[in-house]
Structures are given as structure tokens and as C-alpha cells.
Chain A
Amino acid sequence: MLNKSSAGFKFGFQILAIVAALIFTTVVMLLAKAPPLEAYKLIFTGSVGSIGKISDVIVAWIPLLLATSGLLLTFAAGLWNIGIEGQITLGAIFTTWALRLLQDTSMSPTLIILIGFLAGILGGMIWASLTGLLKIYGGVNEIFGGLGLNFVATALTIWLIFGPWKRPGVGSMSGTVPFDNLLWLPQVEGLRMSWWSLGIGLIGIAIVYLILQGTYFGLRLKAVGKNGRAAFVIGIPTGKYMMSAFFICGAFAGLAGATQVLAVYHRLIPAISSGYGFLGLMVAMLINYQALWAAPVALFFAALNIGSIQLPIVLKLDSTLSGVLQGALVLFVLMMDGVRRRLTAKKVK
């Protein structure tokens, strides 16, 4: 018999959760009178069926991975950074701003792109710091502060697109004028992915992994997250640490926003965050905040997003079905985790 607190026992519950999520999604599909096997097959071939598809998955993966990376730090500090959507958006706005200011100068495109990234990071950090300040000095829970700032960020985007940054003679939420190809992050020939953004994403998660696993800062951050009061008593300036977590997460979110502008849309659009912030929250919860799993699980989620585009084409199914699967996975994993804890707790008593 398995020991109820063993790793194997835990793993078994996770497998159970994944199976349950699959069953749930399958039932949803059956209710929608859709062939589940065909649908899963389509999602699979639609995400890894060709080089082009794999490249598209990677394009979606990078911003999601960056968002998840940032969130791992705020989660470590015990913070629910729901405001990450707004932080991604502000990153995108700052990047667009920098590009607009510099695009007509004689500056080299490479330098402009670099400044665009830095501006994005700055934008994300500023927006995250607002949530942090509200939390630490204003006593406003970061969830509410973040939510509010998300709405402000969207409103700001829309105002910019319809106002100062509108296309000449046009008032549409389609977005700003696309940037010149020179200001696109260089893509792999014939594909949409860019080695540069891939590199940024991988380095990003590696940094977060190192911070959390290998530094004193990471250790203290986790102490703040596990028990802020105790951490404070033993001399950790909790406010400062929380603020740092917000700053770093904001930087990552801003970077994700910059990637969306420089490597995906090449302009500012209203839904520039593509929901990667919320999806990142789900990935982080699903992996139980373990940085090691962020890359593969984010990749899986990105693959679901891209692969599910096949559903409306072939089966006339709504592609939000992938969202059902993603949501079900998170729910069932959390639920199973809860069940497991209960069982374990009873055993201890």
C-alpha cells in the first residue's frame, strides 16, 4: 500500500485529476454532439502537425511563459497578482510608445527594438508597482487593486487607439498603424516565430527558477509568502519583499507585452494581452507554483490554444473548447489536491 503522504500518492492524485478533466471535457463534447476522439486528434495535429504549427505554438508560448514566470514570484510571496493582465497591457503600451517616438528617427532598428523591450519592462513594472503600493501602503488587497488597474489599462489602450494614436481618419478598435517590417523582431524565414523571443522566454523562466531555488532572496520571498507575520518577526522586511516581487513580475509581464507588440501583432490592439495573464495564473496554479514545470505546462496550454483552431474549421465546434479543457484541468487538479490533503489530514489525526 502506498503511504498517503508519499510522492507516489500525490502523483497518483494528479493523474486522477488529469483523467477527470479529460472525462469532463469529453462529456462536454458529447453533450455538444461532437466526436471527442476526432477533436483531440485535431487539437494534436493542429498544434504539432507541421513546422508552421509548432512555430505558431511557440509564438503563443513565449508571452504565456513570461507571464507565468513573473507570477511564480508573486505567488511565492503569497500574492495574487490578478493585475498581470494590465501589466502586460502597459508593457505593450510603453513598447508601442517607444517605437512611435523612435520609428522616424535615424536610430538603428535593432536599437529601437531593444529600447522597445526595455520600455515594455518599465511599463509593466510601473503598473505592477501601483498594485504593490496600494497593497502595502494603502491596505488594498492586490486582487481588487489589480482588477481595477486591469480595467484602467484597457481603458487607456482604447483611448490611445481611438485618440492620440488613431490611424489617420479612422476610429476603429482595429488597432494602431502596423509598424514597419524593420521594427519587427526578426522571424525565422517563412515562419512567425523568432529565435530572439524564444531566447527571452527561456532565459526568463531560467532566471525565475534560479531566483526561487538558488538565492537567499528567493528563500526569504517564500518565507514571506508562507507566513508573512513570522517572516517579519524574524527580521525580513516583508513590505520590501512583496514590492520586489511585484516589480519583477511586472517586468516579466511588461516583457510579455513587448513581445506581443514586437513579435506578434506589430502594433497596439485593444486585446493586446491575449488573456495570457489569466492563462498564466491558471498555469501557475496547475503546476503548484513549481518553476520547473512552467515551461512544459505553458507549452501544453499554448498548444491547446493553437490546436483548437482546427475545431471550428473541421468540426464546426467552438474553439473555446480548449479553454474548457484548460479550466477543467486546473479545477480538477486543485480539487484533487484538496481531497488528498483531507485524506492525509485524517490519517494524521
Chain B
Amino acid sequence: MKRLWLFASLLLVAALLLAACQPAAPAATEEPAAPAATDVPAAPAATDVPAAPVATDVPAPEEFIFGMLLVGPYNDHGYSQAHYEGGLYVEENLPGAKMIYIDKVNSADRPGTTPAQLAEDLLSKGAKLIIFNSDDMKDAAVEFAQAHPDVPTIHASGDSSWKDGVNYVEMPLFGNSFGRMEYGKMIAGCAAALTTKTGQVGYLGPLINDETRRLASSAYLGAKYCYENYAGKSAADLKFKVTWIGFWFNIPGFTSDPTQVADDFLNSGYDVVISGIDTTEGLVQAGKAKAAGKDAWAVPYDYVAACEESKDVCLGVPYFNWGPVYLKQAQAVKDGTFASYFEWLAPDWTDINNVDTSPVGFQKGAALSAEAATSLDAFIAELAGGLNLWTGPLNLQDGTAYLADGEVATDVQVWYLPQLLEGMEGQSVSAQ
């Protein structure tokens, strides 16, 4: 009997440990087959959301299956959900298109599997196009494409098919798509700078790499510009600090806790938290801080309706609109014209929130004051008119020259930004 109790208690311990190691799976079981669009409450933004839950079963003469690997949960209100809804957009707009996907594709959530292996699962289910959605899957995407040179493959955010890039690998049917989120981040930084009362802006960073350095730096450039030119203050008084958590989202036990990082910002004088991670902890914690009577605002990231989780502190969200991006490529695959490509897509400046044309957008939030909104619109108009904040003089964080006076950064210089910029606090590369 004693032994049995020992068994039982150990099992419990083991179960708890397993549970601890399996980070909160946002219960996909709760809503089995319902497209996520349904859980987006009708909001000012709802007109932009392709909300058509019925569209999944389009009776079409010819079925075209495409597969997507999502690094996080499909309903993360962030990066992965933006992709998922991009897939829904393709289903709606390409006759016969059907998306299959696997979410939570990372080694902590799916132990013992690799993205390349999961891509083969999608392939065996009939997918004619495989989309790897995350930077984290870069090696696996290339591995998969090399093992399956006849399968059209897209790696979002990657540079493997960029001939000017440093990681170019020649593959016949491999494409890279990414939006120029630098603009979205500049707008985010501007909104933060126009709002902060303390002059301290915190950036909740994911992991450190080329992409995240340039995006955090873009937010800083936007913040600095607006702090000076619209708020009429001295950029030297603006504090901009980046704290990295180590991955795109929280994986308990493996990353820093973004909730904790956001709280640390809000408790130490930073009154705006810009999120660079896939999930919405920054926004949620700012909401709690505000409820506790503090001045707190946040700018989430990635997903058009991200503000919904805490509207009254949300200044707006820079987001990806993958629908038109993937529609074009899916069409190309269907037509048999798909070939290796690299694209880094700017917003549609005539309307950055056009769901059919703009790969990157910025949805203003309810907490943005009318005055700030006016300035922000003016800033967006400046960007549309050709304002390039990646223009020298700009130094890297350690003081080395990055761009000479008047020098405009090339795509390669921006993409592979080696450090954060001068004036920003935070690590440029990981700690030794």
C-alpha cells in the first residue's frame, strides 16, 4: 500500500513536471474546427478582418491544398495568428484552396519532432505548397527544400533565397517573403514617443538576431524622430531600452518571462511598452498597471486585432497582412509559375491598412490621443512621401560609425544590422 502511494505521488510529480515542460497549450481543443476569425469580437477594426467562418468549405472543382507550419499557437493574437488568417484569406480568394497547418512548431512544444519532419506530414496530406512561418525554422526549411526540390516552399522572414544576402542557397522552388515591418515599427515608436510622459520607452524584445535588431532599432528611429519633430522635445532626453526574453514567445523554464519583463519596465518609469514578441504580454501587463492607477500604454505587434486584449492602453499595432502575400504565391504555384524568389515588401502607401494590397499595416489603438493621432498621421504621410530614417549620420551602439552623414542604408545594411543603434540601451548580441 505504501508503495502504491509512492507510485501515485511520483506520478503526480512527474505529471506536474511534464505539465510544466509543456507550456500552456492554449487549449486548441476548446474550439475544434472553428476558424479563429470567429473569436475576434466585432470592433472598429473588424472591417479589416477577413471574417468569413463559412468560407472553409468552398466547393471548388479543383482542390488546392497548401500547408503552413506555425511557430506558436494559431490563436496567439500575434505572429502565428496573423499567418493563420493570411491562410484563411487565401482560402477565401483562391478557388479550391484549402489550408492545412500545424501550430506550436517548436522543439519545446513538440518534443522529438523537427519542422522538416512536420512539413513532410503536411506534404503527405497533399499540400502543394509548404510555408514555414518562423525565423526559428530557417535551417529546417532549407533542409526540407533540399530534400524535396520539387515542392514549392516559402520561408517567411528568411533570407536563404536572397542573392544579395549572406545566407544565399540556390534552390529551385524556394521563396522568402517578408514585410518591411521596419515601417510598422517606426510608426509604433512614433506613437510611443508621442505618448510617453516619462520619456522612457521599453521594448520587449524576443531573441536577438538580425531581424530583431533592425526592428527594435526601427522603433527607436521612429520614436526619436517623433520625439524631436512632433513632440518638440530633445531626443537626448528619450530613454529607449530593449530587454530580450530569448525566444519569440514565453516558454517557461527556457525563456525569460515576458510578463515579468513588462512589469519591470512599468515599475521602473517606463510608461510605454512596445512589444517585439509574438504574444501580447506587454499589452496585458500595461492594462493591469493602468487598472492599478498607473500611467501605462503599450504597442503590441504582429496581429491586426491584437489591441482587443486591452484596448484602453493600446496605442496601436503594427501588423503583418499575409493574405495578399500568400495569395500571390499560391496562385503562382497553382499556375505552375512558382520559382525561387526573395521579396521584402513595403506597405501600400496609398492605404497601409488595405487588406488586399498592403503586406504591412498599422492599426491605431483607442488609447492614442487625438492629438497624437494627428501627428502620427502626419508622420505616416512623411514616410509615404519618402522619409527614410535609415539615413546617416547614424552610429552603432558601441559608437562605431554605421552610416555617414547623408548616407542612406542599403537593404543589405538594414537587414544585417550588426548592433543596436547608438542611444539605445540593451544588449546587441547575447551575453557571453
Q: Which residue on chain A has the smallest CB distance to residue B125?
A: A313
Q: Does B427 contact A (CB under 8 A)?
A: yes
A32, A171, A282, A285: the one contacting B207 at CB < 8 Å is: A171
Instruction: Specify the chain A residue showing the minimal Cβ separation from B29.
Output: A32
Q: Which of A203-211, A245-253, A269-277 contacts B (4 or more CB under 8 A)?
A: A269-277
Please tell me if the beta carbons of A143 and B13 are within 8 angstroms of each other in the complex: yes
CB-CB contacts of A147-181 with B at 8 A, as 1s and 0s? 10000001000100011101001111111001000
Residues of B within 8 A of A272 (CB): 107
A318 touches B25 (CB 8 A): yes
On whether A315 and B18 interact (CB within 8 A), knowing A171-B427, A274-B111, A334-B11, the answer reads no
B391 to chain A, nearest CB (A): 24
Pick the contact of A312 from B103, B139, B430 — CB < 8 Å?
B103
User: What's the nearest-Cβ distance from chain A to residue B236, in Å?
Assistant: 28
A347 close to chain B: CB less than 8 A? no
Q: A192 contacts B117, CB within 8 Å?
A: yes
A320 touches B22 (CB 8 A): yes
Choose from B13, B207, B431 the contact partner of A170 (Cβ within 8 Å): B207
Chain A residue numbers with a CB within 8 Å of B22 are: 320, 323
Q: How far is A76 from B13 in the complex, measured between Cα atoms in Å?
A: 21
Which B residues, 132 to 151, have Cβ-Cβ distances below 8 Å to chain A? 135-136, 139
Q: Bound complex: CA of A285 vs CA of B11, how far in Å? A: 10
Contacts of B98-155 to chain A: CB distance below 8 A: 100-103, 107-108, 110-114, 117-118, 120-122, 124-125, 135-136, 139
Q: Which residues of the partner chain B approach A154 to less than 8 Å between Cβ atoms?
A: 253-254
Chain A residues lying within 8 Å of B32, measured Cβ to Cβ, are 32-34, 315-317
Closest to B21 in A: A275
Contacts of A192 in B (CB 8 A): 117
Contact A172 B13 (CB under 8 A): no
B48 CB → nearest A CB, Å: 25
Residue interface mask B1-16, A partner, CB < 8 A = 1? 1001001101101110
**Which chain A positions have C-beta within 8 A of B113?**
306, 309
| A172 touching B4 in the complex, CB below 8 Å, given contacts A82-B14, A278-B14, A313-B101 | no
Interface residues of A in 304-347 (CB under 8 A from B): 305-306, 309-310, 312-320, 323, 327, 330-331, 334, 338, 341
Nearest Cβ on chain B to A3's Cβ, whole angstroms = 23
Chain A residues in 8 Å Cβ range of B292: none
Give B3 Cβ to nearest chain A Cβ, in Å: 9
B244-252, B296-304, B305-313 - interface stretch: B244-252
Residues on the A chain within 8 Å of B111, using CB: 271, 273-276
**B11: which of A175, A306, A331 is its contact (CB, 8 Å)?**
A331
Verify A338–B4 contact, CB threshold 8 A. Answer: yes
Is residue A80 within 8 Å, beta carbon to beta carbon, of the partner chain? yes
Interface size class of B (residues with CB under 8 A): 35 or more
For A273, the chain B residues whose CB sits under 8 A away are: 111
Q: Are A275 and B18 in contact (CB under 8 A)?
A: yes
Residues of A close to B206: CB separation below 8 A: 172
CB distance from B65 to the nearest CB of A (A): 11
B127's nearest neighbour on chain A, judged by CB, is A313
Q: Judge whether B27 is part of the interface by a CB distance below 8 angstroms.
A: yes
A52 with B120: CB separation less than 8 A: yes
Q: Does B17 contact A (CB under 8 A)?
A: yes
CA distance A309 to B117 in the complex (A): 10
Contact A318 B28 (CB under 8 A): yes
* CB<8 Å pairs between A and B, sample of 30: A32-B32, A34-B29, A50-B124, A82-B10, A143-B10, A147-B13, A162-B431, A164-B432, A169-B208, A170-B430, A172-B246, A174-B135, A174-B247, A178-B139, A264-B112, A270-B108, A270-B251, A271-B108, A271-B254, A274-B107, A275-B21, A275-B112, A278-B14, A278-B18, A278-B21, A316-B33, A317-B29, A318-B28, A318-B29, A334-B8
Task: Please list the 10 inter-chain residue pairs (A to B) with the smallest Cβ-Cβ separation, ordered nearest first.
Answer: A171-B430, A171-B208, A172-B207, A274-B111, A274-B112, A32-B29, A338-B4, A318-B28, A170-B209, A271-B108
Q: Taking beta carbons and an 8 Å cutoff, which residues of A are in contact with B? A: 32-34, 46, 50, 52, 56, 60, 80, 82, 143, 147, 154, 158, 162-164, 166, 169-175, 178, 192, 264-265, 269-276, 278, 281-282, 285, 305-306, 309-310, 312-320, 323, 327, 330-331, 334, 338, 341
Interface contacts beyond A171-B431, A273-B111, A309-B121: sample of 12 additional A-B pairs, CB < 8 Å, sorted by A:
A32-B29, A82-B14, A170-B429, A171-B246, A172-B206, A271-B254, A275-B111, A312-B101, A317-B32, A320-B22, A323-B18, A330-B11
